[in-house]
Amino acid sequence: MSPSGYFRESRATVARRLRCLAQADRWCYIQNRLGEVESLLPAIGLITLVGMLPAPVRFKLHFGPYRTPRLKRGAIVEDEIHGTVTIIGLSDGRIPWPIGRKGVHRVYVVFGALARAVRRESAQAVCHWFGVSRPWVVKCRRALDVPINNEGTRLLRVCYADTPTFRRITREAKRRSLRPEARAKNAAAHRGVKRPAGVVRKMAEALRGRARTAAHRRNLSESLRRSFARSPWMDNAWTESEDEFVKSLPVKDAAARTGRTVKAIYHRRNLLGLSNKTRGRTRQGKMSLSHKNQWLRSPFAHRRWTARDDEWLRTLRPAEVAEKTGRTLNAVWARRRNLGLPDGRAGRIMPMSVPGRWTPEEDAAVRQLTPLQAVERLGRTLRAVSARRRRLGVPDGRVNNGRRPAKMLRGGQN
């Protein structure tokens, strides 16, 4: 009832409220004595109430108390959802609440105790005590950014999970889910569906650092063995007689005798440490993996050039150095370039040297001679001599062509 001095309610509203309270008390009585009337429930159509909690538990307000605000008719208040509204009356809920007008619409004023209840209490408790509908509570929660499982809803679900009916239903659902047809249906629904990244990350975090039991490892091994079937060629291992054919016969003859491909024979020869005519090269011209491993295991892989080898490079021909050191001609030519010696190969008139390895004698010749004379004297290209002159600060000797001024650098002669 409204306090004295404030707006009064009509007799019809008071009578409707009294009828609602009497009906609610009757339902609470039936729900609290379900054990006695369970045999009568199918006859009266209340079979759905078997799993319900008692009313004091279902409709409990955990974060109260909540009181009706003292407001006069026509007062203007601030609604958290609709903004400014005008008070026009009270609701007929168990906790009467102001009803406001926003334009031509009548709305519950969401502020104060009602706003706190929507944020923290369960939807059943708010509907029961304030006389609102469940869709209205859902819309208010969405407008106020309230999660579905707030504190009150979570406590109510915990109470539901502790009832015998819920445990019986859970056992029955688990029993049905373990049936062969249910498992087949579940597997067909998930087969080929990729797990979300968040689920994979959480599974990895849960399994990280956990020691696997012997039974778990055995089951995992059997599952992987069933998933990854061995290819036929994996069981076709090389025998000793086939290795003898590979060692003693040419490649094509060994392939004909063993029934394998020529590529397989070459690969086996590499693994056995035998030389191939392809020199360990694949058809694309790259070194095969087996040949690389064989070379890295050889004593020549990490052999360094000694002072005696460098002396032979300076005094002997590349072919003689390769024969005496046991290296290839490519290695000899690369070492000669690193030492600044002429390449020595046919068709290369000018000796090649590594850029930047200029000797003091060559620098003196660059400063004293013209670029063409330095090219003839040193055996380097004109481009290399010009670059060296610029680095030493010697004018390049070119004539100004009129488009840009000739930059004369200090020092040197043309």
**What pTM, to 2 d.p., does this model score?**
0.38
**Which letter does DSSP use for residue 2 in this model?**
P
84 and 69 within one domain: yes
Q: What is the pLDDT of residue 31?
A: 44
CB atoms within 10 A of CB 78: 11
The number of helix segments (H) and strand segments (E) in the chain equals 22, 4
Phi (first) and psi of residue 76, to 5 degrees: -110, 125
DSSP-derived 3-state class of residue 133: coil
Q: Give me the mean pLDDT over the 112-129 stretch.
A: 89
Q: What is the pLDDT of residue 259?
A: 87
> Is 184 within the bounds of a domain?
no
Give the number of domains in the chain. Answer: 4
98 and 87 in contact (C-beta within 8 Å)?
yes
Please say if the pLDDT value at position 279 is more than 60: no
Helices (H), 38-150: 41-44, 55-58, 112-120, 123-130, 134-143
DSSP-derived 3-state class of residue 345: coil
HSE-CB at 248 with a 13 A cutoff on CA atoms is 8
364 and 343 within one domain: no
> Is 343 within the bounds of a domain?
yes
Task: Give the range of the structural domain holding residue 364, as residue numbers without chain letter.
Answer: 358-414
Mean pLDDT of the chain: 75
Strand order in the sheet with 98-102: 76-79, 83-90, 98-102, 105-108
29 and 149 within one domain: yes
Q: How far apart, in whole angstroms, are the C-alpha atoms of residue 412 and residue 414?
A: 7
Q: How far apart, in whole angstroms, are the C-alpha atoms of residue 89 and residue 106?
A: 10
22 and 70 within one domain: yes
119 and 60 within one domain: yes
Tokens at 312, concatenated = 């032979």
pLDDT > 70 fraction of the chain, expressed in percent and rounded? 70
Long-range Cβ pairs for the range 148-152 (8 Å, 24+): 150/119, 150/120, 150/121, 150/122, 151/62, 151/63, 151/120, 151/121, 152/62, 152/63, 152/120, 152/121, 152/122, 152/125
Q: What is the pLDDT of residue 58?
A: 84
Query: Would you give the end-to-end CA distance of the chain in angstroms?
Result: 116
311 and 273 within one domain: no
Please say if the pLDDT value at position 347 is more than 50: no
Q: How far apart, in whole angstroms, are the C-alpha atoms of residue 248 and residue 115?
A: 93
Tens-place pLDDT, residues 212-236: 888 888 888 888 777 665 555 556 7
Strands 76-79, 105-108: pairing kind: unpaired
> Is 96 within the bounds of a domain?
yes
CB atoms within 10 A of CB 99: 16
**Which letter does DSSP use for residue 89 in this model?**
E
> Is 147 within the bounds of a domain?
yes
371 and 340 within one domain: no
Q: Give me the mean pLDDT over the 356-365 stretch.
A: 82
Tell me which of 77-91, 178-192, 295-309 is least confident. Answer: 295-309
Q: What is the pLDDT of residue 46?
A: 34
Residue appearing with tokens 């290399």: 384
pLDDT band per the 50, 70, 90 thresholds, residue 288: low
112 and 42 within one domain: yes
> Is 413 within the bounds of a domain?
yes
344 and 256 within one domain: no
Tens-place pLDDT, residues 185-195: 988 888 888 88
Strands 98-102, 83-90: pairing kind: antiparallel
Q: How far apart, in whole angstroms, are the C-alpha atoms of residue 344 and residue 326?
A: 18
145 and 16 within one domain: yes
Q: Which of 350, 346, 303, 311 is nearest to 328 (CA)?
A: 303
> Is 174 within the bounds of a domain?
no
